[in-house]
Structures are given as C-alpha cells and as structure tokens.
Structure 1
Amino acid sequence: MANEQRKTLIVGSGCFGLSTARALLKRGWTDVTVIDRATTLPAPDGASNDLNRVVRTSYSDPFYSKMASDAIQEWKNRDEWHDAYHESGVVVLGSPDSDYKHQAYLHDLEMGLRVESLDNQAAFRQVFPPKATIASFENITGYLNRDGGWANAGQGVKLLMNQVTALGGKIHAGKAAVELIQQGESLKTTGVRCGDGTVFEADLVVLATGSWTGSAFPDLLTGKIYQATGQCIAMIQLTPEEADAYRDCPVVLDVTSGFYMFPPTDQNLVKIAVHAPGYTRSVGEKNISTPRTITSDPETGLLIPKANVKELRDGLRKVHPTLAEKPFVATRMCWYNDSFDSDWVIGYHPKSEKSLMFATAGSGHAYKSYRAFFSFKFITYSDEQVIGRLVADAIEGKLSTEVAVKFAVDRTPNDSDDFRLKMVPEELDLNQLCTPEDLL
C-alpha cells in the first residue's frame, strides 16, 4: 500500500498532532483523522493552548537555533498566521559566566540576527519603554535579539485546526484513547479504542498525546525516556494605563534563574513563569506521572504550590519591581512531556512493524521555545511545520540518520544542556497548593 493511501489516525490535537496532520495532507495523504480527549478544542488544559509562547532562536544547541530561525520567517506570513506572531524582541539574561547564554548569543550572531549586547543598566534601560520601571540588573548581563518575540498560542492552534480541515483532514473531539488495538501479542497496531466505546481503525496510529502519553499508554515507554512534569505559571492584571507603559516591552528570559515573562496581552494580562524541574504526580501501581488539570480537577487543577508563588514574585522583582507588588489574578499548572535529554521523541515503536509512531516529548520547546517553557515557534518550516515535517519524514523514512538517532524512540538519552533536566522534579504535594491569600 502506498503511503498516501494509509488510513492514518493521529491521537492528540496539540502542535505535534495538528502539524503532523497538516504535513501529511499537504504531501497528498488522503485519509487522516485526528482525535482528542477534550470535548472542546483547542483543549482547555493542553500545553499548546495558552495566552502566549516565546518565539526565540536563543538556544545553546545550534540544531534548534536554526530550526527556530527558519520557523520565525514563516510566522511572519500573515496570510496563514494572521496576527498571531508579535515581534517584540527577546532579552536573554544570565549570570556573567553563563555558558548557555554565551553559546546562544554566538549562534544568533552566526545566523546574522539583530542582536545587541547588554552589559550595564544604561544598556538595559534603552531596550525597555521609558515609562516601564526596571530593576538595576546587578550582576546580570545579557543581550537583546530583535528577531524574536511571542505568539498567541491559542490563536495559532485554532488557525492550524482550520488548515487541517480545509485540507480534508477530520478532527473529532471528546474521543479519549484508552487502548491500542494490536494483533495478538504483537505490537502491530490496527487502531484505537476510546473511552466511550468508539473504535477507530487505522493502518498507522500516531501518538501525539503530550504529557498524557505515559498515563494513557503505561505499557509503552514510560519511565525510560519521558515523563509528565507540571510547570508553574501566574498572571497579573494591569490597568489600561499600566499596560500602555509596558506594552512595548520585549519578552524577558533569564537562563540562570529560569524566570521568564511576556509583555501585556490585549487584555492587559502579564504572564510570568519559571523554567524549573517542575512537579510529578505519581499515580497507580506503576507510579506514572499523570497531569492534574482543570479538566481532571476543576476546583483546584489550576493551583500551583505556595513556594512557587514566592519564586515567581522574586523573579519578577528582579526585572520590574513595581509589578512585583501587584496581586496575581490567576495561576496555572501547565503539563509537559519531558524527555530526559530534552530532545523530542519522533519515530516508530521498534516492535510495531511501522504501525505505531511516536510524536511527543516536546520538553516545552515544541510550541514554545526554551527547552521546557517556550516552543510555539517550531510549528512552521517553509511550507510545512517543523514538527510536522519531521514526523512526516519519519513516517515516510526520509529522516537523515543523524536526526533519526537524535529523536529515536529507543535511544539512550544524551546528557542534556538544559539545567532543569539535570534536577529531579518534586512530587506534587496537594497540601501545599496556594490559597487566594497567597496571591495577594
């Protein structure tokens, strides 16, 4: 059977799943279906659906720097992505001896991007709006990359869904995959059974299930190469006058502390977060880390630990001390599927006879961009998405040996250059979640 005629089922409608569907359809595949557990799409608790994601090239790994640079050019295509991308610039901060920051700066220079070194308070003052209060940036250096910014994550996913359906793809909400249909004791996969009893038959099943991969399919690769981790986010509501003062700020990312923040949205919300080892939530006999979100726990699924509330406020104080005195109006525990070396997992299960493909472990840089917190920028590449192109190439056997090994399902994880992945995540303690008083 020709590839284009294979009945293909993609489980998950985040950036991995939708970009894969789009890439296959653009290559002439004629029978592509996407299913998702969420009853409304984009999934309200999906990592790909949020206010914003950082779009940057500033990586210590040149592989991702180059991919990001190519993707940014496509983000500027307003015919396809409308006004989802905002080129605010990205300020990369770090201690003076930060090797990550230094390598990222060199890669941006080598690509000919518009970068400016920032090594004193006067230099920092020049890249922020005059009415925005900034800190002294003592013992911190950095640089501004004007070829980057942020993207409206939810808007981007909706646009991508529309593109998939316009190309003839089918998308079904409210279909939670609970079982892979396989032949006898073999891992040759012929479809998926959903929680409501629906069965989707397929010649090829693509698991693009993000942080739910381990808990939904516990007998596959969990604990060997990836796990779900919860990351902490908070929001601040500005008045229109305050927002105008900070509107033209760049995205700020501190690669030493992990703190990052965005300029105000059109609703005058400022989102802040910390790039950290995160939290696991071990469930069941196999202690598989399982997301805890607004969908599974409507009352408390958005709450973050008290300690992280303080950490977020401390990080904000080192950039915009005036904003650090304002209350947090919302929090979110955002879940990612982290690989143990921060590289994606893209490839066939070695025992599935090329019927089961993995497209997961975004490690926070598949729709945002800083290894574990920002990755949206990778959605596009030339006329296909970066992720979609990679998965489609893997399906069709077109990946170079180097890239196939880098993303292989059965690889031995390399030593990551991401500091947070060198640390062990904490187990989430539900007794330590924040209260409304903690946010004041």
Structure 2
Amino acid sequence: MSTTSTSRIVIVGAGTFGLSTAFHLLGRGYTDVTVLDRARELPAVDAAGTDINKVIRSCYSDMFYAKLAREAMEAWKQPMWEGCYHECGVINVGGDQFDDRWKENDMKLGAPVERLPDAKAIKSKILSSLRPDTAATLTHSDSDSNERRVGSFTSYRGYFNPEGGWAEAARAVEILLLRVMEMGGRVIENQEVVGLVKDRDERIIGVKCRDGKRFEGDRVILAIGSWTASTFPELKLDSKCLATGQSVAIIQLSTEEKERYKGCHIYLDFQTGLYTFPPTEDGIVKLSMHTAGHTHMMSSWQVGGDINHTPVRKISTPRTITSHPSLGDGLRVPRSALCILRERFRQVYPELAERPWAGTRMCWYTDSPDGNWVIGSFPGDPVLFFATSGSGHGFKFLPNIGRLVVDSLEGTLDPATAARFAVDRDVSGATNGERASKVPQELDIAELCGPEDEEIVWFVVYI
C-alpha cells in the first residue's frame, strides 16, 4: 500500500514505539501525523518506558539486534537527548546459560570487551567499581566485609563491556514527546481508543475513542504495547502480543552507601534473569528480573467491551496503577517474586539486599514467542499497521526503532527484516532464548504484596 509524505497517519500510543515512529515520520517530511494516547497526562504513568532507568546494552546473540543496539547507543550520545544516557559499562554473566555469542558479537562490532572467565574475575570487577578506598580495604584486609558486600559468583563466567549503561527512561520519553510536537506532530492526551472505524466495505478508515471521537487516517499504526491484544480482541493477536508483568523493586541508599556504590556497572545475570543499576543521584537502586513474568488473564468481553465475542477467550491484560488505583493496589507485586528478587540480589550485593523495599511495580512487557518485534501491516487490511511486541528489549532502541517502522510502512524494509517482524510470521515452537524462564505464571491476586504486609513505601517508581 502506497504511503507518501501527505498521507494522514494516526498513531495509537505515545510510548517508545509510537513516539519514535512519529519522530522519524516527521523527520522524513510527513505533514499529517497524529498521536493518540489514553493517558490524561503524558508520559503515561503505567507505560513500560515510564521508568527511572532502562538498560542500554549491545549484548545479543543475534547480530541483527547487536548492530542495531550499537547504532542506538551512538544516537543516545547526541545532544538531542540532553545527557539522558549514562555509559557506566555492563557486566554480562551467567552459568550454563551463558551464550558466548553475546561476547563474540560485541567483539566483532569493535567493542573493547574484557573477559571475565571465572568467579574470581567477576568478583574483582565488581569490587573495582566500588569507591577506591572501600575497594582497597576490601581487597587487602577485610575479608568479612568482602563477603558482606560482594557475592561469590560460583561457576559463573562472563564479560564486561564498557560501552553500555543506562538511560533516564521517563525523561527521555518526555524529551522525544516535546520534540515530536515541536516538529509539527499532533499529540492528543486522554483519548482511549476502543475500536476500529470501518467504511461500508468493511475497510478500516480510522479509530474510535471511548468519548465518541473518531480519528480517520490513510494509515493507522497501533503502538500500544502490552494493551495491544486486550484492546482489540477481535484481531486475535494473543499469541503474538502477550502482556506479561515483570516485578520491579527499588531500595533507598544512605548518602554513604550511594558514594560507595555510585561507580557500579549495570549487572546482567542471564542465568537468573536479575539485572541491577548503579544508584541514581537520589540514591535509588532499581532491580528487576528478565524472565517470562506473569500474565493477568481476563475474558475478552471484559477487556474489549463486546459481550458478543464468541467463544469467550482469556487475554492477558495489564494490571497497573491506572486500572487499579485504590491505595496503590496497581503497584502490588507477587510476594514470591519479591522473595526471589531479594535472594538473587543478595548473591550480588549482600549488604544492599538487606535494605527494605522503597517501592515496587509491575512493568508490563508485550512478548512475542520468538522475541522479535511485531512491525508490519495487518494481513486482513493494509491500512492497519502494527509497531509493538517490544518483548522486554525495545526501550534501548527509542532513538532508532522508528526508522524501522517507517521503512516498513513505506515498503523499503529489506525482505529478511520484514519477514522477521511480520505480523503473520510462523512462530510455532519458537522461544526467547534470553529469558531466564520460559513459561509465564498467572498472577495470584491473593499473593500480591501491599504496604501493610511488606512494609513498602508505595509510590510511582519513575518519579
């Protein structure tokens, strides 16, 4: 389907995929770009990208993503991002789950990697990132403190890449949002899209919102992340766009602790899924796990609003501070996940792992079975286009993922890449090799932790 610079483009979703797409469309001279979002205020508080920080790394076993990540890392350094990117280096480790292709691909792309062949090397690398006087004390005299502050990493190996780090996620989204508006894009808040608008011939011509407004376009791009399948149950995208919640927690360090740990690197454990960040300027340390996560199944008529859908299907639907705002209910996480998170954190930074939680939330991914994104036209109607299924590794590509989307929209994406992202690609038997676990668990609402039973100070963790 032909798309030109004068085509009317309607993008649903002002998150990572939606804003990056709008930015690249406007950069190519498109003159009629409208971005709709359900949030009353942007960035949306419960979007995956609205967070304190996100990992920026190039360690991929798939060379396609490794190259794209290196391109994104260079883009993050540009003045446009106002210093959002912090290149603190990334430690990548694992046991029998460690894939040497991560290191090999980084090396092939010119990254100055440092091999960490055993537990001793990993431990030494982490110790060297502590405040110099503390590290010297730990290394030469205080073995008890050594064990107290850094784990043992038994049977682990990995590598360190100094070219990587983290981005201030929420601030980066805000920067791109303002940039899109400065370039002439229309961004309209408080517009919850609830369905598609079709003409007499059943061809899609736009979207309709809960308040009755309609927005018509020559191309309609759905970039609503983990809400994709539940917002449009009639499209039956459950298998390609599965919403999964990942448990995220933060701790608050003292001033002394912040100084001690502020030189730490990103730590990625592909064996357990744990990843940790250095402390922020406010002394906040975020940690989470890159696993299969949790689903939150609801009947299709409950989430789509159409009781005539037959047969009734269960669709995983995000459970957030927006859908469950009462007393911070939407920020609760499974107790079992918090216990596992603390134990895995203890294996890296035993001292910090004893800190009480200062906040939690569920970060909702949109997972495809093979870990590839879903970018392309809907087979039933080329007007409808998808840019979704970040699969837990989309945010780092905020500067350049929109380029791929626009290339696909214009029909210039190379055939191999188009096939990789196709909506109707065959994913039977596919798995995401980066996840520490393969099968998501269903959320047990009775197990969710609240402030009264976990002594958590609840607040939206991206603030």
TM-score by length of 1: 0.93
SS in 1 for 2:247: strand
The alpha carbon displacement at 1:184 in A equals: 3.9
C-alpha distance in structure 1 between counterparts of 2:26 and 2:374, whole Å: 22
SS in 2 for 1:68: helix
2:105 to 98, 107, 127: 107
SS in 2 for 1:260: strand
The answer to whether the 8 A contact 2:431-2:438 is kept is no
C-alpha distance in structure 2 between counterparts of 1:218 and 1:291, whole Å: 14
The alpha carbon displacement at 1:422 in A equals: 6.7
Amino acid at match of 1:272: L
1:280 to 276, 295, 302: 295
Q: Report the equivalent of 1:159.
A: 175
In our comparison, the structure showing a higher alpha carbon Rg is 2
The answer to whether the 8 A contact 1:277-1:425 is kept is yes
Q: Report the equivalent of 2:281.
A: 266
1:341 to 370, 376, 383: 370
C-alpha distance in structure 2 between counterparts of 1:358 and 1:421, whole Å: 27
The answer to whether the 8 A contact 1:226-1:338 is kept is yes
The answer to whether the 8 A contact 1:19-1:160 is kept is yes
Amino acid at match of 1:84: C
The answer to whether the 8 A contact 2:290-2:436 is kept is no
C-alpha distance in structure 2 between counterparts of 1:342 and 1:421, whole Å: 13
Q: Which structure 2 residues correspond to residues 309-348 of structure 1 after superposition, within 5 A?
A: 309-348=338-377
Find out whether 1:303 has 2:332 as its counterpart.
yes
Find out whether 1:366 has 2:406 as its counterpart.
no
When residues 311 and 141 of structure 1 are mapped into structure 2, their CA distance, relative to the original with a 3 A threshold, is: same
Amino acid at match of 1:98: Q
The alignment-based identity, stated in percent, is: 45
**Unaligned 5+ runs, structure 2:** 136-148, 300-311, 457-463
Find out whether 1:412 has 2:426 as its counterpart.
yes
Amino acid at match of 2:111: L
C-alpha distance in structure 1 between counterparts of 2:342 and 2:212, whole Å: 46
Q: Which moved more, 1:276-285 or 1:404-413?
A: 276-285
Find out whether 1:392 has 2:421 as its counterpart.
no
Q: Report the equivalent of 1:84.
A: 84
Count of residues in Structure 1 that have an aligned counterpart in Structure 2: 421
The alpha carbon displacement at 1:121 in A equals: 2.3
The alpha carbon displacement at 1:416 in A equals: 2.9
Over the residues paired in the alignment, what is the CA RMSD in angstroms? 1.6
1:222 to 215, 230, 237: 237
User: After superposition, what is the alpha-carbon deviation per residue over 1:286-312, rounded to whole angstroms, capped at 9, x for unaligned?
Assistant: 211110000010131111101011111
The answer to whether the 8 A contact 2:56-2:164 is kept is yes
User: After superposition, what is the alpha-carbon deviation per residue over 1:91-144, rounded to whole angstroms, capped at 9, x for unaligned?
Assistant: 00101x3342x1101111111102111124255324421437211222211211
Q: Report the equivalent of 1:52.
A: 53
C-alpha distance in structure 2 between counterparts of 1:234 and 1:183, whole Å: 47
2:194 to 178, 197, 207: 178
SS in 1 for 2:234: coil
The alpha carbon displacement at 1:37 in A equals: 0.4
**Unaligned 5+ runs, structure 1:** 368-376
C-alpha distance in structure 1 between counterparts of 2:253 and 2:46, whole Å: 24
User: After superposition, what is the alpha-carbon deviation per residue over 1:10-41, rounded to whole angstroms, capped at 9, x for unaligned?
Assistant: 00000100000011111111000001001010
C-alpha distance in structure 1 between counterparts of 2:104 and 2:366, whole Å: 29
SS in 2 for 1:343: coil
Please list every run of at least 4 consecutive aligned residues from structure 1 whose deviation after the TM superposition is greater than 4 angstroms: none
SS in 1 for 2:278: coil
Amino acid at match of 2:182: A
